[in-house]
Each structure stands twice: as C-alpha cells, then as structure tokens.
Amino acid sequence: MKPIHMALTLAGGLLLPQTATADDAGHLLAQSCAGCHGQEGAGVGAAPAIAGISAEDFIAMWAEFQADERPATIMNRIARGYTDEEIAALAAYFAAKD
C-alpha cells in the first residue's frame, strides 16, 4: 500500500463511526446519557438507573418513548434522535452494566 493510501485509510478509520465496533459505539453514545443517568447509567436525581436493563426491555422502552406511549418528561424527545443501530448499541452497552 502506498503511504498516501495508508494515511487516508487511517484517517477514515478515525473519522467514520461505522468502522468502530458496536461496543465502542455504545460507549461513545452513552456519554450523552451520563449527565442525567450517571456514569454507566447508575442513576442520579430524577433520572432512573438504566444499567442492567436487558437489551430487549431497553429497545421496547425506547420504542415506547419514541411513540409517546411511555410517560416521559424528556426521554420521549431524546429517544427520537437515535437510529436503530445506535439504539441497539446503547441497549447492548447498558445491558452489560450492573
């Protein structure tokens, strides 16, 4: 491989999120939840603990928030900003925490 190609490949790997593993993606996405839900979803203040929710339950709750079928002050709006892939990555991330 020519050096310029290698440099482009490396840069692409750093810039494109789809080259990250699902685990990395979940970890990165979860940073935006920590402000309310605490580090690793442990729960603080008004935001419930979300660590340890099974991936299946997490995805079901998320769909309810998106559809306004689950009582919410803020999560209904937050839930709409995520793709299915991102939701799956978040679900796997928090399911693996306790």
- Which residues of the chain form contacts with ligand HEC (CB under 6 A)? 29, 32-33, 35-37, 46-48, 50, 53, 58, 61, 72-75, 78, 90
Q: Which is nearer to ligand HEC, 21 or 78 (CB)?
A: 78
Distance, CA of 14 to CA of 79 (rounded, Å) = 26
Q: Which is nearer to ligand HEC, 1 or 83 (CB)?
A: 83
The nearest distance, CB 15 to ligand HEC, in angstroms, is: 22
The nearest distance, CB 12 to ligand HEC, in angstroms, is: 26
Q: Which is nearer to ligand HEC, 12 or 48 (CB)?
A: 48
Query: Of 19, 41, 22, 21, nearest to 92 (Cα)?
Result: 22
Query: Of 45, 28, 27, nearest to 36 (Cα)?
Result: 45
The nearest distance, CB 58 to ligand HEC, in angstroms, is: 6
Distance, CA of 94 to CA of 75 (rounded, Å) = 16
Please answer whether residues 94 and 53 qualify as being in contact, where contact means their C-beta atoms are separated by less than 8 angstroms: yes
